[in-house]
Amino acid sequence: MDNKTTNESKFYPKRLLIVDDEENMRHMLSSLLAKAGYRVDTASDGADALEMVDQTLYDFILCDLKMPNMNGMEFFETARDKLWATTVIMMSAYGSLDTAVEAMKKGAYDFISKPFKPDEVLLTLKKAEERESLKRENLWLKERIRKIQGNYHFGNMVAKSNAMLNVFKLAEKVAQYNTTVLIYGDSGTGKELIARGIHFAGQRAKKSLVPVNCGGIPENLLESELFGYKKGAFTGADRDKKGLFEEADGGTILLDEIGELPLSLQVKLLRVLQENEIRAVGDSKTKKIDVRVIAATSKNLKDEVSKGAFREDLFFRLNVLPIMLPPLRERPEDIPLLSQHFIDRFNISLNKEIKGITPAAISLLLKHNWPGNVRELENVIERGVVLAEDSILLPENFPSELGEESKMGKMDDWFDGYSLKAAQKILEKKLITKALKTTNGNRTQAARILEISHPSLLSKIKAYDINL
């Protein structure tokens, strides 16, 4: 560090301004500091110094406190906004020490008491140079860390795979505009997290982000939930109620699982996107709104269009800027980073002190197929943190089936005969059992992985007599 500073000084002499009304003092300091390698200018009072800092960016200023016309304190307070890159050292006689301390409180670096020896000035400047050098290095390191973290983070998501870094880069660009976004990805890949990242990285961050699960609200209630209703619109409507679109006015609405939206409501959503207006159930008037729409789906909407289950015109309206989230099995390099991220998080929420994960345990995680994607990994790490008795996660802290081959065996090993109905039942039972094991018996998460409704899952568990 010292060598670097010395070399820089040889080629780029530090600029220094001496402000003092005593000509002898200016001359003595000029000679001393010029010999020490500084490029020196002088001013006889604060008013002269003000004009000089307007013209030149100084590295250091040595300023006397007691001067005619404009004293050192007046100069410092007047010029402070222009001295953001300058280290100011005050020179004070015994009687003005309190003023010198006051100057330091307001941002001056140090003060030297008069009379002083030449070595004191040089030592003070050397310390100031070392401080400035450390400040620059600190800023450089902070910028490096910010860039590294920026590369690996978007919102609350972390990743290092090229696939996800490209997603982060696209999402960051998209966040600056009000364009409609359609996020594709399997269950558990982080579609809502990307949507949240886009909202909070954009100009609408101070307004609401309203998430809606289009597959989680009964069809007969969905319209009134989205667009609101007027008093008397239907039985039980005893007051006017705002819809979720109006709640999101000025902000963002996330239409999660948009592929589950009934055709009857797809027409009305299309109108909202085209006209930027909504009509509450039971109202004859429309209302203008300013809402950014982000939609997400685990379905292939092109296939849904070809089946007639999704309107083509709505698909084109939504698919302005598509973002594809790859499944976790296609980006195993993210697993160690994500695992540490979840460990750090659960250390806080569970009051634990897990430092990391053994190579053998990481090997298990890398072998697993992750049908539940990042959400499944999060659950596995949480279980591991809870069960860990040491300060590091071991293979035995994870579920026993973790790391087994993802293939479930040959079809011929599952059943005899050719009945499609029998095959469907056996396959469904196996997949439901696997999903329940993967989610540690959490039926809500299992239903998401299986892409069926929660009531449907409960019905099948009962029908197949699955006990987990």
What is the mean predicted confidence (pLDDT) over 96-125? 84
**d(C-alpha 74, C-alpha 81), whole Å:** 13
Q: Report yes or no on 171 lying in a domain.
A: yes
Q: pTM for the complete prediction?
A: 0.57
pLDDT of residue 9: 41
Residue with the bigger pLDDT between 20 and 220: it is 20
What gap in Å lies between CA 210 and CA 192, rounded to an integer? 11
Rounded CA gap, 122 and 175, in Å? 52
Share of the chain above pLDDT 90, in %: 50
In the DSSP assignment, the letter for residue 327 is P
Averaged pLDDT for residues 91-106: 75
pLDDT for the residue 179: 92
Q: Do 35 and 100 belong to one domain?
A: yes
**Whole-angstrom distance, CA of residue 100 vs CA of residue 106:** 10
Q: What single letter denotes the amino acid at residue 446? A: A
Query: What is d(CA 114, CA 63) in angstroms, rounded to the nearest whole number?
Result: 12
Q: What is the mean pLDDT of residues 53-76?
A: 90
Structure tokens at 358: 């053994």
pLDDT digits (tens, 9 = 90+) for 127-163: 988 887 777 776 666 555 555 455 566 777 888 888 9
| Beta strands at 181-185 and 157-158: parallel, antiparallel or unpaired | unpaired
Let me know if residue 65 belongs to a domain.
Answer: yes
Q: Write out the residue range of the structural domain in which residue 20 sits.
A: 2-141
Q: Where a domain ends, among 326, 343, 372?
A: 326
Label each residue of 34-81 as H, E or C: HHCCCEEEEECCHHHHHHHHHHCCCCEEEEECCCCCCCHHHHHHHHHH
Which has more confidence, 7 or 91? 91
**What burial class does residue 369 get, using C-beta atoms within 10 Å of its C-beta: 0-12 exposed, 13-18 middle, 19+ buried?**
middle
So what's the pLDDT on residue 465?
Answer: 85
Closest CA to 63 of 129, 16, 119: 16
- pLDDT score at 17: 96
Q: Phi and psi at residue 172, in whole multiples of 5°?
A: -65, -40
Residue 112 is part of a domain; what is its CATH number? 3.40.50.2300
Contact 429, 464 (CB under 8 A): yes
Q: Residue 270: is its pLDDT beyond 60?
A: yes
Helix (H, G, I), strand (E, B) or coil at 306: helix
The reported pLDDT for the residue numbered 439 is 76
pLDDT the model gives residue 216: 86
Domains of the chain: total = 4
Same domain for 172 and 316, yes or no, is yes
Task: Look at residues 63, 21, 57, 20 and name the one whose alpha carbon lies nearest to residue 39.
Answer: 57
> Closest Cα partner for 108 from 63, 67, 69?
63
| pLDDT tens-place string over residues 224-262 | 999 999 888 888 888 989 999 999 999 999 999 999 999
CATH number at residue 371: 1.10.8.60
Mean pLDDT of the chain: 85
Q: Which of 308, 326, 344 is where one domain is finished?
A: 326
Both 360 and 378 in a single domain?
yes
Q: Residue for token digits 């005969």?
A: 417
Residue 413: pLDDT band (50, 70, 90) is low
Indicate the burial class of 153 (C-beta count within 10 angstroms; 0-12, 13-18, 19 or more).
middle
Same domain, 321 and 373: no
- pLDDT higher than 60, residue 328: yes
Q: What pLDDT band is residue 409 in, cutting at 50, 70 and 90?
A: very low
Whether 291 has a pLDDT exceeding 70, the answer reads: yes
Q: Count of alpha carbons within 13 Å of 43, Cβ hemisphere only? A: 25
pLDDT of residue 5: 39
